[in-house]
């Protein structure tokens, strides 16, 4: 009887730890949201807007591209 109880408690604890880990993973993905906005200017062309420029956040794969009106998509 005692061994059965220990196994049952172990199984419950294991499930609770698994659920906590899943919740923590979910929280970190929500924390990664953000926006990139602004105007990209060309220094060589007297600060003229620079269409079709790619902007990449350093150290990530997050990026945006400007259109012909220099709006980000």
pLDDT by residue (tens digit) across 10-69?
888 888 888 888 877 776 666 566 676 777 888 888 888 888 888 888 888 888 888 887
Q: Using CA atoms, how far apart are residues 68 and 72, in angstroms rounded to an integer? A: 10
Q: How far apart are CA 62 and CA 65, in angstroms?
A: 11
> What pTM was estimated for this model as a whole?
0.43
Please tell me the distance from the alpha carbon of residue 20 to that of residue 15, in angstroms, as a whole number: 9
């Amino acid at each position: 009887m005692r061994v059965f109880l220990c196994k049952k408690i172990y199984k419950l604890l294991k499930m609770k730890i698994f659920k906590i880990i899943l919740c923590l993973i979910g929280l970190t993905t929500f924390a990664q949201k953000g926006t990139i906005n602004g105007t990209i200017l060309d220094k060589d062309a007297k600060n003229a807007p620079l269409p079709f420029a790619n902007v990449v956040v350093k150290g990530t794969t997050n990026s945006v591209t400007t259109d012909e009106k220099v709006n980000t998509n």
